[in-house]
């Protein structure tokens, strides 16, 4: 069976973190002739990864972005994690899950993966249809966070939420207004938090299975956070409360 086409993982942080955490999926590293980061070069050498040197002009042809920072890795396609196995983990090992309801912007998905990695203890669930998948842009924005956060891609978000609830999870949803105050609410664990897309919010089919709705109070301008910004605040509060239950 022929190997599937590789993804181009670009940017120093994304490549270095992949070499540290998951070098098996790295096929080769491509560096520009001007690339001189000694620690990255030493890591590549230590991992015995094939290296190809190219001119800055040729690298720009491969990936037309300054974010490449002179280094690109050819890696295996992203491997999603099995959701059904994760929700049945021992109670002390259970993650808090971020359900993303039709988040289509790869910049937002990448940022949320990075946020979840920074806080730790989170998994991400995305639907197969009507949403962004984990692609090269997502991996670049995640800056290596994808190596530390399981991302599950499922057929139906509502069914996945129902299965999680049957496994003992509670379901909460982040809403722009009308929910309980995030600064005052007490989250039950293990927890699934649903983040809706900008404009559409959380779909009714998902919303009707929520035990609670939570709103981030904002007293400033009549604006709202995008889904990545909101996720960072919710992840902080969930992590703080979860730590307090141990």
**Residue range 36-42: mean pLDDT, rounded:** 95
CATH 3.30.1330.30 domain locations along the chain: 7-75
Residues 40-47: contacts with CB under 8 Å, at least 24 apart: 40/12, 40/15, 40/16, 40/71, 43/16, 43/19, 44/19, 47/19, 47/23
Q: Is the pLDDT of residue 40 over 70?
A: yes
- What is the Cα–Cα distance from 50 to 73, expressed in whole angstroms? 10
**Residue range 217-230: mean pLDDT, rounded:** 81
- What is the Cα–Cα distance from 240 to 226, expressed in whole angstroms? 22
- Give the per-residue pLDDT at 223: 58
pLDDT, tens digit, for every residue of 132-152? 999 999 999 999 999 999 999
**Residue range 6-30: mean pLDDT, rounded:** 92
pLDDT, tens digit, for every residue of 164-180? 999 999 999 999 889 99
pTM tops 0.85, yes or no? yes
Average pLDDT of the chain? 92
- Give the per-residue pLDDT at 198: 73
**Residue range 17-32: mean pLDDT, rounded:** 92
Closest of 240, 123, 113, 100 to residue 182, by C-alpha: 240
Report residue 169 as tokens: 């999870």
CATH 3.40.1280.10 domain locations along the chain: 83-244
pLDDT, tens digit, for every residue of 80-107? 999 999 999 998 899 999 999 999 999 9
Residues facing residue 127 across a β-bridge = 154
Q: How confident is the model at residue 131 (pLDDT cuts 50, 70, 90)?
A: very high
Q: How confident is the model at residue 197 (pLDDT cuts 50, 70, 90)?
A: confident
Architecture of domain 7-75: 2-Layer Sandwich (3.30)
pLDDT, tens digit, for every residue of 182-191? 999 999 999 9
**Residue range 51-69: mean pLDDT, rounded:** 85
Instruction: Calculate the CA 172 to chain-centre distance.
Output: 19
Q: How confident is the model at residue 245 (pLDDT cuts 50, 70, 90)?
A: confident
- Its sign, for the CA torsion 90, 147, 108, 83, is negative
Q: Is the pLDDT of residue 222 over 60?
A: no
- Give the per-residue pLDDT at 116: 98
CATH code reported for the domain at 83-244: 3.40.1280.10
């Amino acid at each position: 069976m022929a190997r599937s086409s590789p993804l181009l993982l670009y940017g120093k942080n994304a490549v270095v973190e992949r070499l540290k955490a998951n070098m098996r999926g790295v096929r080769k590293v491509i560096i520009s002739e001007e690339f001189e980061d000694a620690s990255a070069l030493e890591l590549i050498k230590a991992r015995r990864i094939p290296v190809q040197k190219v001119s800055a002009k040729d690298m720009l042809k491969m990936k037309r972005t300054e974010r490449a920072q002179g280094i690109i890795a050819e890696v295996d396609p992203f491997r999603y994690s099995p959701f059904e196995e994760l929700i049945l983990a021992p109670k002390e090992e259970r993650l808090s899950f971020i359900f993303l309801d039709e988040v289509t912007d790869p910049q937002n998905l990448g940022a949320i993966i990075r946020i979840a990695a920074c806080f730790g203890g989170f998994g991400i669930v995305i639907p197969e249809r009507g949403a962004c998948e984990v692609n090269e842009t997502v991996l670049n924005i995640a800056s290596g966070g994808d190596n530390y956060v399981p991302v599950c891609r499922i057929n139906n978000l509502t069914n996945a939420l129902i299965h999680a609830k049957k496994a003992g999870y509670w379901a909460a949803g982040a809403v722009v207004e009308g929910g309980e105050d995030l600064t005052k609410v007490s989250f039950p664990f293990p927890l699934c938090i649903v983040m809706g897309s900008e404009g559409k919010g959380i779909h009714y089919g998902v919303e009707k299975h929520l035990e609670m709705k939570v709103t981030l109070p904002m007293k400033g301008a009549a604006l709202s956070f995008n889904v990545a910004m909101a996720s960072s605040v919710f992840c902080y509060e969930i992590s703080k409360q979860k730590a307090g239950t141990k």
